Structures are given as structure tokens and as C-alpha cells.
């Protein structure tokens, strides 16, 4: 049986031993390594390299607005009921697009597009049309339904007409932020959406021909218990989304002010939180969902599962993706791009963003050009997080190194994990075993040079 078809093995002793804090590896190097003194000429050089490679584009738009505050949220957001702020922002996003588009080869097609937030469904249907038309003026969007064009929505803030309208605009994938259906939990985090609301949206989305519907859930929220999460998951399984994300709530009130509104004594303690996760994983697997990796699950016939089995999956800032071949070009406040072997991040506040756009200046705040060693380790981490193995022959051919010599220190670090049955040495290289899949972030940390140098950043637990 393929590793991807096997049910996860929960080994509490190994989890207790290896459940440390560490990066989520949506990028490598991770965001704390981005440089504040990133030069504009480095940006232009990255664009030139990107154009020479002629990869298709993946566009990301950060729409930061929400009309209510979800207490758990750690996203870059602006909570306001002043809807006029949205159009002013979108107009500056177009100005940013215009500045970027003149640098990128116009022949390059956009095979992937994503609106994130905040709550992208905050903006009106007219504003959605305006933004999509503006995008089409600057980039070569697909006029077929073959691309992966996705949008995040808040189910309780989503009129049916808007869902239909987004499909007409070309969106074919939905991500719903459900989080939890329990009323006590919803009240504690100020995030409301009923089963009935979500069910109606699911029915309409399917009738409209959306290719895939994903739901985001969170474990570790106030007042959650194993029984309450089991009930929420029963309701979710009945709704049958194509994909599920089960995120770990990291309570960091010193970093995120909104989390100070959550009372610490209402949160499940570590042992109960792990019990919730264990039960949830078992429940989802019994329902037929395949464990993709980290916090992602999908139905066996979903394109993400197929991409993983065919070795085409990658991990980026939106999680797992089927489009490994794309360059990521991101717009809006705090968004992060990756092209030409370089990460580039925009300024993080609206005031800075608007001021720079109105001055006709780039909105870049920081970035980093990957070294040859960064590329090598980025590739290793992607192989492990997406495919749970590392092929030494492929590594040697791609980077002209002798893996066992080049990674001697890392392999020594991994020896206790080999002895504990998380991973194994094979004739081909390394293979993550079933007991190690939940702890894949901990395995990847062995290859992170920046952690080895002593990163001062505080990360969430790997589980």
C-alpha cells in the first residue's frame, strides 16, 4: 500500500519527544530571514531572471478588510465597516499591478490566481468585477476554466448572489473559513457561521460548477473539547468538502492584540488539545479523507492528492499547491512574492502602502535572494513536506553535490529520529515513515541552516 493511502499512526511517546516549536515552511528561508535593506536593483534582477525562465504566473491579491474582528486571527487585517476604504485600496492595488506588469513579459499566462485576506468576500460584486477586469488589463488571464482561480470567503458574510457572481468572473475554487460550528466556541472567538449557511453555499457552489471546495477548521480554540470537535467534524463530513485544513490555534497574545480578548483559562490544555487532534485525524481518515501533510486533508480523487502521488505538489504561502511550476507574484499590503530565486515582501501597513503607491514608488519592504545553499535546502524541505522522502540521486543531479558528504551534520542530527522510527535510511536516501508524518516540520528543521545558527524567533509547536 502507498504511504499516501495508509492511515496515520499516532505515537504519543514520539509526539511528546519531538513536538517542539518550529517554522511552518511555507517558504525557505522563512520570513524572519528576509532583509530590511533589500535593494531595488535586486528586485529588478529577480524579475529579469524570472522572465528568462518563462514560467507561468501565480497571482495573489491580499484584501485585508473584515467587518468584524475574529479574536483568534493572526492575519494582516483591517477591521472596518467603512466600505469606501475598499475601493481606494483596490485602485492602489491596480497601480501596483501597473508598475509590476510593465516589467514582466506579457506573454506569460496566469495559471493560478488567489484572493486572500482578511476577507476577500468583504468587497462588493462591482468591486470584484473591477479588480478582475483590472487584472486582465495587466496580465494574461486564461479564458478557459483550466486554471486554478480561488478565493477565500467568510460563510456568514456571503450572499448567494456574490457566490454566483464570483463564478461568472472565473473563480473555480472556494476556501471557506468555517473554524467551528459549536455556538459556545463561536461566541468566545466572535466568529459565527451556521451549518445551514454553509450547507446552502455548498449546494449553490456545486450547482455553479466550482471545481473544488475547501474548508478551514481550527483546533485549540476556547471551550473546544474532543466531543465538541467530533460534532463539528460530523457536520463537516456530511457537507463533504473536497479539501479540509485543520489548523493549530497558536495563542500568542503578545504578538496579536486581538488574541488578548481570549481568556487563557478557556483554552484546552496541551494534553486535551492533542487528544482533540488525534480524534479528529482518525475521524477524517475513517470518512475517507487522505492525509496530505501537516494540517491538510483531501478526498482521494482531489487534484491535490493526485498531484502528490505524481510528485507534482509544492508548498507555498497558501499551503499545498498543485502548481509547482509557477512564479508567485503578490499584490497588496504585506503580500509576499517569489520569482527569480528571490522572495520579496510588501510593506505591512495600509498607511505605508498608500503613501508609497501615491509617490509612484515600489511598495517593497524586505526580501532575500536565495543562495545556492538556500535553493538546495528549499528543495529538500519541499520534497519532505510534500512527498515525505528525499532522493539522494535526484539531489546529486540537481545540485552537483555528494549528499552524504554535504549533509553529514544533518544526517547525524537525524540519527535519533531514525532510531525512533520517524524516518529511515534507504538505498535511495531518506523516507519519512508513517509515525513521522505528523512530525514532518521537526524533520525539516534538521536541514534549516538558520535554525542551526540560533534564530531568536518564537514559532508555534509543530503539532
The chain-wide mean pLDDT, for the chain, equals: 93
Task: List the chain domain ranges.
Answer: 1-29+372-463, 34-329
Sequence length of the chain is: 463
**CATH class of the domain defined by 1-29+372-463:** mainly alpha
* Burial state string for 356-379 with b = 16 or more CB within 10 A and e = fewer than 16: bbeeeebbbbbbbbbeeebebbbb
The C-alpha atoms of residue 392 and residue 401 are separated, in whole angstroms, by: 9
> What is the per-residue pLDDT across 280-315, written as a single tens digit (0 to 9) for each?
999 999 999 999 988 899 999 999 999 888 888 888
| Residue 241 vs residues 201, 278, 282, 420: alpha-carbon distances, Å | 11, 20, 17, 35
DSSP result, 336-373: EEEETTEEEEE-SSHHHHHHHHHTT---EEEEEEPPHH
383 falls in which pLDDT band (50, 70, 90)?
A: very high
Handedness of CA 316, 321, 322, 328 (dihedral sign): negative
Statement: residue 240 has pLDDT above 70? yes
**Domain spanning 34-329, CATH architecture:** Alpha-Beta Horseshoe (3.80)
Please give the Cα distance from 444 to 448 (Å, whole number): 7
Instruction: Tell me the per-residue pLDDT of 46-78, one tens digit each, with 9 for 90 and over.
Output: 999 999 999 999 999 999 999 999 999 999 999
**Residue 209: how many other CB atoms lie within 10 Å:** 9
Question: Mean pLDDT over residues 373-395, rounded?
Answer: 96
pLDDT digits (tens, 9 = 90+) for 384-394: 999 999 999 99
- Parallel, antiparallel, or unpaired: how do β-strands 173-179 and 148-153 relate? parallel
Residue 63 to residue 133: CA distance in whole angstroms: 16
Q: Among 215-229, 264-278, 299-313, which stretch is predicted with the lowest mean pLDDT?
A: 299-313
Which pLDDT score is estimated for 1?
A: 44
CA distances (Å), origin 122, targets 23, 83, 96, 171: 30, 8, 21, 16
In angstroms, the CA 179 to CA 70 distance is 11
Query: 171-191, pLDDT tens digit by residue?
Result: 999 999 999 999 999 999 999
Cβ burial of 178 (10 Å; 0-12, 13-18, 19+) is buried
The CA-atom distances, in angstroms, between 45 and each of 82, 221, 341, 370, 374 are 40, 44, 10, 13, 18
- pTM, two decimals, is 0.94
Task: Please tell me whether the peptide bond between 293 and the residue prior to it is cis, using omega within 30 degrees of 0.
Answer: no
Amino acid at each position: 500500500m502507498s504511504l499516501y493511502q495508509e492511515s496515520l499512526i499516532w505515537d504519543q511517546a514520539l509526539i511528546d519527544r519531538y513536538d517542539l516549536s518550529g517554522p511552518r515552511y511555507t517558504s525557505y528561508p522563512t520570513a524572519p530571514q528576509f532583509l530590511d535593506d533589500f535593494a531595488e536593483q535586486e528586485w529588478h534582477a529577480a524579475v529579469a531572471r524570472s522572465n528568462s525562465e518563462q514560467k507561468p504566473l501565480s497571482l495573489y491579491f491580499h484584501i485585508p478588510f473584515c467587518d468584524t474582528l475574529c479574536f483568534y486571527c493572526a492575519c494582516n487585517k483591517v477591521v472596518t465597516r467603512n466600505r469606501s476604504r475598499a475601493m481606494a485600496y483596490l485602485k492602489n492595488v491596480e497601480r501596483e499591478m501597473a508598475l509590476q506588469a510593465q516589467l514582466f513579459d506579457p506573454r506569460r499566462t496566469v495559471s493560478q490566481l488567489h484572493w486572500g485576506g482578511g476577507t476577500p468576500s468583504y468587497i462588493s460584486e462591482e468591486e470584484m468585477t473591477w479588480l478582475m477586469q483590472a487584472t486582465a488589463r495587466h496580465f494574461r488571464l486564461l479564458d478557459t476554466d483550466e486554471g486554478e482561480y480561488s478565493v477565500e470567503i467568510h460563510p456568514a458574510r456571503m450572499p448567494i448572489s456574490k457566490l454566483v457572481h464570483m463564478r461568472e468572473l472565473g473563480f473555480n475554487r472556494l476556501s471557506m473559513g468555517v473554524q467551528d460550528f459549536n455556538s459556545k466556541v463561536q461566541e468566545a472567538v466572535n466568529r459565527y457561521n451556521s451549518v445551514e449557511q454553509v450547507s446552502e453555499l455548498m449546494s449553490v457552489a456545486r450547482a455553479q460548477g466550482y471545481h473544488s471546495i475547501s474548508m478551514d477548521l481550527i483546533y485549540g480554540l476556547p471551550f473546544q473539547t474532543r466531543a465538541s470537535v467530533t460534532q463539528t467534524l460530523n457536520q463537516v463530513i456530511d457537507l463533504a468538502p473536497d479539501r479540509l485544513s485543520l489548523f493549530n490555534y497558536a495563542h500568542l497574545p503578545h504578538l496579536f492584540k486581538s488574541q488578548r480578548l481570549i481568556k487563557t483559562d478557556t483554552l484546552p490544555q496541551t494534553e486535551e488539545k492533542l487528544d482533540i487532534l488525534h480524534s479528529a485525524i482518525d475521524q477524517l481518515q475513517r470518512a475517507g479523507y487522505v492525509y496530505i501533510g501537516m494540517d491538510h486533508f483531501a478526498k482521494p480523487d482531489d487534484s491535490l492528492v493526485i498531484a502528490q502521488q505524481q510528485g507534482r505538489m509544492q508548498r507555498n504561502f497558501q499551503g499545498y499547491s498543485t502548481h509547482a511550476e509557477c512564479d508567485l507574484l503578490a499584490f497588496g499590503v504585506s503580500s509576499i512574492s517569489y520569482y527569480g530565486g528571490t522572495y520579496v515582501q510588501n510593506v505591512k501597513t495600509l498607511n505605508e502602502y498608500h503613501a508609497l503607491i501615491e509617490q509612484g514608488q515600489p511598495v517593497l519592504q524586505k526580501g532575500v535572494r536565495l543562495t545556492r545553499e538556500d535553493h538546495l535546502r528549499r528543495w529538500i524541505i519541499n520534497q519532505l513536506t510534500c512527498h515525505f522522502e528525499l532522493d539522494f540521486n535526484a539531489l546529486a543531479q540537481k545540485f552537483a553535490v555528494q549528499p552524504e558528504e554535504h549533509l553529514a551534520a544533518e544526517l547525524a542530527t537525524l540519527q535519533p529520529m531514525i532510531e525512533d522510527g520517524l524516518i529511515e535510511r534507504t538505498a535511495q536516501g531518506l523516507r519519512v515513515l508513517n509515525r513521522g508524518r505528523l512530525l514532518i516540520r521537526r524533520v525539516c528543521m534538521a536541514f534549516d541552516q538558520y535554525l542551526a545558527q540560533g534564530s531568536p524567533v518564537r514559532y508555534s509547536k509543530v503539532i
